[in-house]
Each structure stands twice: as structure tokens, then as C-alpha cells.
Structure 1
Amino acid sequence: MNIREIMKNGLWDQNIVFAQVLGMCPTMAVTTSGTNGLGMGLATTAVLVGSNMIISSIRNFVSPQVRIPVYIVLIATLVTIVDMVLNAWMHDLYRVLGLFIALIVVNCAVLGRAESFASKSGIVASAFDGLFMGLGFTLALTAIGLIRELIGMGTLFSQASLLLGPKFAFLEMTVIPNYGGVLMMILPPAGFLVLGLMLAVKRFYELRAAAKETAKTTASPTPLAEGAIGCH
């Protein structure tokens, strides 16, 4: 599998949220704003890249009978490191995400990529797989968070400078001034609502693209076989 296919799979075809519908716990819980979704997605991406690379490098030395426990221990170690890094350098984001950072260990997508891809592929390909799977997850969480934040509070990336650092202050926008907000959009039910609508849009786009491709294939004439003699 080449890099282009890995990128397409991670961002679209096998997107963790929009295609595989995995990682629903953080997807529903932390996407009350775009900033939270971005932070959670980047933390998960770091774990995915690191775990994929390590597991790919040791795949020939681990007995098949104990591979799953070994993978879980490695993933838990990386999650602990990410947790400590966020606590040390992004403490405000760490406080907001809280327990959901530790729950990356039980995110099916992380162990799933280790088992289905990293354990069967080279280090470079596994690193790219982890990167694009993580970026696809980040884009999904950020998009859901931005929609909920915009409708719920009329802002985009509010408190980005506080949670992610002063360098992210340029992301903060007040789209609808003096907006009263919609409380439901920052409550858990809105996460299911927004996710369902986005899944429907993705499915509609894929069906439409497939229909166009089928129509294009049907409309194109079939060339005569080489050497065929036409009838008169």
C-alpha cells in the first residue's frame, strides 16, 4: 500500500469516526468545542504514531500468543507519557480533557491499527498509517466540536490560547456577537445528533459519487476487440 492510499484511508475511506464509528466515548464527551476536539485528536495522533512505529519494529520478536497484552502495555506506556506531557506543558487542556486522555488506552482504533496494520507492515508505512488515522480522527473531532460550538455559543475555537497556548490565539473567533446560545448543543445528545447528520452527509456524497462513476462507465462505448471484423 502506497502513501497516497494510506492517506486516503485515514482521512476518508477508513476514518475512525465517520467510517469505522470507533472512539465514540471521546467523540461524544469532549467535542463541546473545536479546541477540545483538536486537543484530544492531537493527543490520540501522538499515541497512534508512536504505538504503530514501536509495534512494527518488534513484530518479528513477539510471540503471537502474547502479542495483544504486549501491544496494550506499549500503548498504555505511550498514553502515560502523553498524559504527563499535557499535564506539564498544557495543564489547562489537561484539566479539560481529564480522564479521557487515559481512556486512549482502551480506544479500539489504537489497538485495531496495531493489530491490523502495524503488526504486518514496515516502520515507515506504519508511521504514516498512524499519522493519517490520527489526523482523520482529529479532523472528525474538531469538525463536530466546531459545529456544536458555533450553534451552541456562536464562537469558534474559544479559549484556544488558554488551552493550547498563546500561539493558537489567532484561531479564536466570535462569529455571532451577542448570541444567547443553544444549551442543548453543548450537552451529550447533541454529539449524537451532529455525528448522525455528518454520517448522513458522507454517505450521501459517497452514493452520489458511486452513481456518477457507474453512469460514466455505462455510457462509455465498449471498443471492438482487436482484429474483429465488422458486419455489413
Structure 2
Amino acid sequence: MLWEENPVIGQILGICSALAVTNLVKNTLVMCLGLIFTLVMSCFTVSLMRNVIPRRVRMIIQVLIIAAYVIFIKIVLDAFLPEISNELGPYVGLIITNCIVMGRTEGYAMANKPVDSILDGIGAGIGYSLVLLPIAMIREPLGLGTFFGMQVIPADWTKWNMMVIAPSGFFALATYIWIVRALKSGREKR
């Protein structure tokens, strides 16, 4: 289920994060946790309010709800993880416009009960994380020789500096999607 309806692999949503944060595992983990928190809380809140939100302004209300949770995340990061907050820069704020969050609040939470919406948010967030974390787990060691900031590849090994520049995130994501789809296609043929 996480692979068939994965928002990144199946619908190519949330790919800005692949470019922005997958050069370091710790940044990717924080972004994934932030997105999961935002998804769960936004879906829960929208679901609770679904019967009182006027249809013509529902998207505006959803964006305001999402923004409130993202601002909370930014405040917490600034207070407790200032280094990571600085490294992520504006990308945390971009969760507000992330199509995964908007899609789940509009496409699911507006029509379903709160508990189901929470579970949907968790599932979409885990699906997002199952794509971004493996990419970061490859990019950081190859590009910097580190994993969670700890040296894991000998210092005399030539680092692939191109692995940590932004465009490599797209190449890594494309390769990941290609591999997952090829494996899925191979299973379907059997």
C-alpha cells in the first residue's frame, strides 16, 4: 500500500524536498518528521472542521491550518535545533505549499473522520519518508563520506562532491523511482 499509493513515487509530489534536503541524513530525517507532524495534525484538524468549513473558502482555511502547524515546527526547530533550522532554511516553510499535505487535506480529510484522517496522514508521511531517507543515506556518504555527520568512509577516499549539490537530488530521486517501478513491474509480470 505504501508503494502503490506513495505520494512521491506514484504521483511525483513533494519533489522539492528531494532537491533541498536529501544531501544530509539528519536534515532529511527532520524534514520527514516535520512533514509527518504537519500531515497528521492538518488532516486531523481539517477532518474535525470539515462540516463547518464553507466550501468556497476551504482551500484558504486548509492553507491557514497547515501554516499554523508549520510555524509551530519552525519555532521548535529554532529553539531546540538551531543548526538544523539554519541548514534547512526556507525549506521548512515550503511544507505549507507541499502538494502532499494539500492533497491529503483536500482529497481525504475533507471527506473522512478524524481517526481515519490521522492514519492517512501517517501513511502518506511514511511513504514520503521511505523515498527521501534512502536517497539521503546514499548521497551523504558518497558526497561527504559521513553518515549523520560521522565519518564512515576513509578520509583518503575521493568524495563525489556532485552527490551533495542540489541537482543530484533529482537524479537520485529519478533513479530511485525507476528502480521501484522496475521492481514493481517485474513482480506484476510473474
Find the counterpart in structure 2 of residue 137 from structure 1: 128
Is contact 1:41-1:139 (8 Å) kept? Answer: no
Is contact 1:38-1:139 (8 Å) kept? Answer: no
CA distance in 1: counterparts of 2:67 and 2:93, whole angstroms: 8
CA distance in 2: counterparts of 1:34 and 1:18, whole angstroms: 20
Is contact 1:80-1:102 (8 Å) kept? Answer: yes
| Equivalent residue runs for 1:1-232 within 5 Å | 8=1, 11-158=2-149, 172=150, 174-178=151-155, 179-212=157-190
CA distance in 2: counterparts of 1:175 and 1:78, whole angstroms: 35
| Distance apart, 1:34 and its partner CA | 1.3
CA distances 1:77-98 after superposition (whole Å, capped 9, x unpaired) = 1111111111111111111111
Higher relative contact order (CA 8 A, sep 6+): 2
4+ runs deviating over 2 angstroms: none
Amino acid at match of 2:130: L
Is contact 1:41-1:138 (8 Å) kept? Answer: yes
| Distance apart, 1:149 and its partner CA | 0.9
| Distance apart, 1:58 and its partner CA | 0.7
Identical counterparts, % of pairs: 35
| Distance apart, 1:180 and its partner CA | 2.7
Partner of 1:139: helix, strand, or coil? Answer: helix
| Distance apart, 1:139 and its partner CA | 2.5
Is contact 2:18-2:170 (8 Å) kept? Answer: no
Instruction: Provide TM-score, normalisation by structure 1.
Output: 0.78
Unaligned runs of 5+ residues in structure 2 are none
Is contact 1:151-1:182 (8 Å) kept? Answer: yes
Amino acid at match of 1:193: F
CA distance in 1: counterparts of 2:81 and 2:14, whole angstroms: 23
Is contact 1:35-1:142 (8 Å) kept? Answer: no
| Distance apart, 1:189 and its partner CA | 2.0
Unaligned runs of 5+ residues in structure 1 are 1-7, 159-171, 213-232
CA distances 1:41-96 after superposition (whole Å, capped 9, x unpaired) = 11111100000000001101111111111111111111111111111111111111
CA distance in 1: counterparts of 2:9 and 2:146, whole angstroms: 24
Amino acid at match of 1:199: I
